[in-house]
Structures are given as structure tokens and as C-alpha cells.
Structure 1
């Protein structure tokens, strides 16, 4: 299992390098395929030996090989974070048919959180394809080749996506200033994953988003860095809440039922 986790982490490093491209180019409407990566100052293409995740940045000592322009620390940090995330998800999920779906969710979670923090946007170019990709990967997991199919989980996924999309849409209608339509569209994707995991995961994931987002906004206000009318990106907290639902939803659900 350790070898599998290590391989997943290495794969995550490579995916993290691609996510850096996504985070920079997608909000600007640029292709993530071409042109190849280049220094934004001098325009020289990044050499293949310098494009190795994390290692390339360390070898270059954080500067462009051609012009010496500093390379932001966020690039290797995103690569490293994606590697760690892929390793942790693989360790927690094990080698299963659910693993590809969860790794995909981990990748888009990192990309969308960073884009929302940078641009206050959740681009359709990332969110909308996730309906098809996420649903397809979860359908494969529900089919469970070689094992017992779990079609009930797939049905819950459809219901969860519809419910969370509807709830967020109603919130947008009632309080338009509270969130954007990008949050509504993301809610449907997260609802599919949470519904697949179970009803407790769906409820905990939904509630955790508002709890974590509210706590963050409260900390900013206490620190004097935000006011009551300050706009705070909600996408990262929706994603964090969804992962909370996936990881501890069942535990919290059983605890709550025990109290009753």
C-alpha cells in the first residue's frame, strides 16, 4: 500500500504542475495546452529539465534561468500540495473504483479554490465538465466491476446533486449578494459526490461550508481585515465543507443520531 500511495503522490506532483497552468490561464480565457509554458517577463520557454515539479524550482533557486526573474513560491507549493493530497486520498480510499473520482475531486478542489481566491470566480470551463467527469467516474464506482454493484449510491448521487443545486439556487434568489451563480453550479457537482457518499455526508458537507466560511469571515472581521459588507470568496469553503462531509459525515451522523 505504501508503494501505491507513493506512486499516487508522484502522480499528484505532475497533476499539480498542470493545475498551475489551469489556475493561471483558465480565468484569462487562454488554452491550457498551447503555447508551452514560458517566463512571463522574457518569454523564453521553460526547458524540460526545469519543468520537473518542485525539483525544477529548487534547481533554479526560484528564478528564471534566462532573465533571473523570481518565480513565485506558489508554483512548487501547489505541486507539493497536490502530491500530498493525492497521497492522502489514496491512503484513505485505498485501491478502489472510487479512487479515480476522489482524485479528480481533489484536483479540481485545488484549482477552483485558488482561482476563486485570485479572481472571485468559479469558471464554467472547470465546473461544468466536472458534472460529466465526476458522474462518469462515480458511475464506474457504482458499477464496481468484479464486485457487487451499488446502484443505490448512484441514485443518491443524482438526488444529492439536484438537492444541493436547488438549495443554493434558492439562497441566491433570496439573498443575491451572499454568493454568485458559480457557487450554485459548483454546489451541484459537490452534491453528486456527497450524495454518493451518503445522506449524512450530504448534510454535513452542506452545513460545514457555511460553518467554515462564517468562521473565516468572523476571524477577518475581528482582525480588522474585513467588514460586514466585505466580499469573501465562498467556493473554497464549499470545497472544504464537501471534503469534511466525505471524511467525517458518517461519524458525525452517527454521533448526532446517538444524541437523539
Structure 2
């Protein structure tokens, strides 16, 4: 019984910390020069729930050296999703720092899995290369923010597995097409379709 109480308390702490991080992130996005008036409560709930899911995975045996990846990606994905849905843009102030952040997050993983650096680079080439090609051939079909975001996402997903990168690409494309068909007017934000499956892959872990 004491062990169960401790686990529940730990879960509550994870969720509360995530909620605080989400709230602070929402406030940050509101202050960015090209940010958006995102709902801070929504950000708090989303990040709190995501961090709770990571806590469950850690309890189930996720390596400690990987846990930082889904935690950080949940925070970033929530803020970018909120910004893309509210203002139809992915701010450089969030997407560009994601490159060094992704590299730093993968350092502990590389120390335990020697294949991670090469797999991450291959993921960047595949994910970002595909999006850049679409952007060059059909500029109206792919925003510059999506191309910039594809790099760090490719690194993190590629570190799990290269087939997972192909899966995320397929799910993102299909989700956007379905959303566009359902909406039947105007452009559809593509960021959420990239971010959710990428986070699910990170949550599954290597």
C-alpha cells in the first residue's frame, strides 16, 4: 500500500509539473514577437496529461536516459500546435532552438545506444529532405515553418527507428488530407499532424 501511495503521489507531481510547464510555455508564446494568444489553460492541461503519460512509461520501464525526449517534445508540441491552430504559423523562436535542444536530448541516448547519432542524422535527412523537396516543387503545399520543424522531429523519431520516420510522414500527410477534405476551405495547419505522431513515437521509446 505505501508503494502504491508513493506511485500515485509521484504521478500527481509529474502532472502538476507538466501543467506548470504548459502554463509557462503558453505565457511565453504570448510574449514572442511572432507568437500567438494561445490558451494557457489548454496548454497546461495538455502538457500535464502528456507528462503523466511519460510517467506511466517510466514506471513501465522506459530508460531514464530517454525520458527527457518525450517530456521536452510534449512541451514543444503543445506550444507549436496551439500556435499553429490559433495563428497558422510555427514561430522560428520555437522551431530553431529545437535543433540544439534535440541534439542535447540525444546525448544521453547516444551514450547508451551507439547507433543513435547516425540514426538521428538519417532521420533528419529523410524527414527534412522530404519536406524541403515538397516545398521546392509545390511551395503552396508546405510552409517554411513545417520544413524547419521537420529537422528536429526527424532526429528524435529517427533515433527510435527509421521506419518510424516513414510512418510519421505517412500519418502526417494522411491526417492533413483528411482535415483539408473535411474543412473544404482554406489552408489546414500541418504542424499538429507532424507533432502528435512524432511524440507518440518518442513516448514508445527506442
Bin the TM-score by the shorter chain. 0.7 to 0.9
Q: CA RMSD in A?
A: 2.4
Q: Does the aligned pair in 1 maintain the 2:20–2:44 contact within 8 Å? A: yes
Q: Does the aligned pair in 2 maintain the 1:157–1:191 contact within 8 Å? A: yes
Superposed, 1:130-209 pairs within 5 Å as 130-143=98-111, 149-209=112-172
Superposed, 1:203-218 pairs within 5 Å as 203-218=166-181
Q: Does the aligned pair in 2 maintain the 1:17–1:78 contact within 8 Å? A: yes
1:77 deviates by: 2.6
Superposed, 1:209-248 pairs within 5 Å as 209-221=172-184, 226=185, 230-246=186-202
| Unpaired stretches in structure 1, ≥5 consecutive residues | 31-71, 144-148, 251-260
1:170 deviates by: 0.5
Q: TM-score, normalised on structure 2?
A: 0.86
Alpha-carbon distance in structure 1 between the residues aligned to 2:115 and 2:146: 27
Q: Does the aligned pair in 2 maintain the 1:200–1:249 contact within 8 Å? A: no
- The verdict on how the C-alpha distance between 1:185 and 1:28 changes in structure 2, with shifts beyond 3 A counting, is closer
Match of 2:4 in 1: none
List structure 1 segments (4+ residues) > 6 angstroms apart after TM superposition: none
Residue number among 57, 77, 88 corresponding to 1:120 in the alignment: 88
- 1:76 and 2:41 equivalent? yes
- The verdict on how the C-alpha distance between 1:29 and 1:81 changes in structure 2, with shifts beyond 3 A counting, is closer
Q: TM-score, normalised on structure 1?
A: 0.69
Alpha-carbon distance in structure 2 between the residues aligned to 1:21 and 1:247: 25
